[in-house]
Amino acid sequence: MDPTGYPLQGIRILDMATVLAAPFSATLCADMGAEVVKLELPQGNDALRGLAPVYGEHALFWKTANRGKKGISLDVRKPEGHAIFLKLIKTFDVLVENFRTGTLDQWGLDLKTLHAHNPGLIVLRMTGFGQTGPYARRPGFARIFEAMSGFTHLTGDADGPPQHMNFPLGDAIAGLFGAFSIATALAERNAKPKSKQKGVEIDLSATEAMMRLLDPLAAEYKFTGEARARTGSRAGYTAPSNVYQTADGVWLTLVGSSDPIFTRLCRVMNKEDLTTNPAFTTNVRRTENLVAIDEIVADWCRSLSFAELSASLDRAEVPFSKVYSIADVQADPHFKARGATIELMDPVLGAIPAPAAVPRFTGRDTVVPAVGPDTGQDNAEIYGGMGLSSTQLDALVLARII
């Protein structure tokens, strides 16, 4: 990857985290031009290498989620590996880790030691529940973050069980906050004179990251006495807004929540009398009568094919979309025109489609990164740059240190 002209060019990040959430933070920084080095144990036993989708012996999730990174291996728990790590960390701006609270301390890599070797080091510690509190040592996974934040309680039909989506959303959200945290810490550092720049520790709880998304829920609970609950795909805060099925079996999502949009929707449904009905004149009134307005819209959608609905809603400028599968995403002409999917080149599998970097910076070319690295594939480059000879590297391999 050529980071020329990208905002994080010149920043070096050592990613020693596992699975998805914290590594995704580093990947997003790599998308923005940072040089990211992925550190694994010599055995290459990161659980993400076994997470579906796996194509033959190839972990596709690994190749896409760790794109744009160089790869080294090192067992920091062994004395010689520990010494190499402390020498290595001097050359990095950021360290990303997600071990259980206190684990690095047990390995002799506590914050005081890290900053003794690199006073300006930014350390992102991502855990399920943070570095403090009674749950600090608990293991964390995406579905735990989603459940404990209150997010899963909102997902599913009103008369059914709470549900998780078929993707680790909690990890992705935590990763976004992680990248934001790194960028924030770098901005703070760069705003200070060189003499006053000091390393910082970032304590990121993945569960709190999910909680941060649910902005008004605590206030709603305090002032109404009600905890927001599941409503299926129907929005309980604006109406009409739901997923509807057409006469030919296509599912679409439609949002008619603002008063001007609702007026246009009523016009295209040939039900302009609804705009003067006291039950539907404002969004507040429509949310108080959710089921009634929703059934009217659902009946109208069931009476027409998707092609007919699409043409009518387009003309009326009512926001809607077919509910896309990934096949629809890949085929959509808008996404094709923008290059929203790029192709990562793998030496064995060839082109692997993946999302383009987000956001874009106007006037700068889209950069296509390499796929996630093989275990230790860049050992010679990185450790050679530290002055280790090929003979020394061979000895480290035999000792299972790299």
Which two three-digit tokens encode residue 60?
């596709």
Q: What is the mean pLDDT of residues 33-41?
A: 97
User: What is the distance, to the nearest Å, from the Cα of residue 267 to the centroid of all Cα atoms in its chain?
Assistant: 39
**AA letter at 111:** L
Q: Which helix (H) or strand (E) holds 320?
A: strand 320-322
CA angle at 306 for the pair 304 and 311, rounded to the nearest 5°: 90
What structural domains does the chain harbor? 12-213+338-398 (3.40.50.10540), 241-324 (3.30.1540.10)
Which two three-digit tokens encode residue 59?
């972990």
CA distance 98 to 238: 38
pLDDT tier for residue 4 given thresholds of 50, 70 and 90: low
- pLDDT of 55-110, one tens digit each? 999 999 999 999 999 999 999 999 999 999 999 999 999 999 999 999 999 999 99
Q: What is the mean pLDDT of residues 326-331?
A: 97
pLDDT at 326 over 60: yes
pLDDT at 299 over 80: yes
pLDDT tier for residue 3 given thresholds of 50, 70 and 90: very low
Contact between residue 42 and residue 400 where contact means Cβ atoms under 8 Å apart:
yes
CA distance 202 to 208: 13
Q: What is the mean pLDDT of residues 375-401?
A: 96
Q: What is the mean pLDDT of residues 165-171?
A: 97
pLDDT at 313 over 50: yes
Residues ≥6 apart with Cβ < 8 Å to 11? 29, 33, 34, 35, 93, 94, 186
The pLDDT, as a whole number, for residue 310 is 97
How many other β-carbons are positioned within 10 Å of the β-carbon of residue 325? 9
CA distance 75 to 379: 13
- pLDDT of 200-244, one tens digit each? 999 999 999 999 999 999 999 999 999 999 999 999 999 999 999
How many other β-carbons are positioned within 10 Å of the β-carbon of residue 347? 8
Q: What is the mean pLDDT of residues 393-402?
A: 96
Mean pLDDT, the chain, integer: 95
pLDDT tier for residue 366 given thresholds of 50, 70 and 90: confident
Q: Which of 171, 314, 332, 346 is catalytic?
A: 171
pLDDT at 1 over 60: no
Partners of 320 in the β-ladder:
254
Q: What is the mean pLDDT of residues 294-323?
A: 97
**b or e along 5-25 (b: 16 or more beta carbons within 10 Å of the residue's beta carbon)?**
ebebeebebbbbbbbbbbbbb
- Catalytic (active site) residue 93: no
Q: Percent of the chain scored above 90 by pLDDT?
A: 94
pLDDT at 350 over 70: yes
Contact between residue 288 and residue 260 where contact means Cβ atoms under 8 Å apart:
no
3 state SS of 61: helix
Contact between residue 12 and residue 91 where contact means Cβ atoms under 8 Å apart:
yes
DSSP per position, 245-263: E-TTS-EEEEE--SHHHHH
Q: Percent of the chain scored above 70 by pLDDT?
A: 99
**b or e along 261-286 (b: 16 or more beta carbons within 10 Å of the residue's beta carbon)?**
bbebbbebbeeeebeeeeebeebeeb
pTM: 0.94
Q: What is the mean pLDDT of residues 112-122?
A: 97
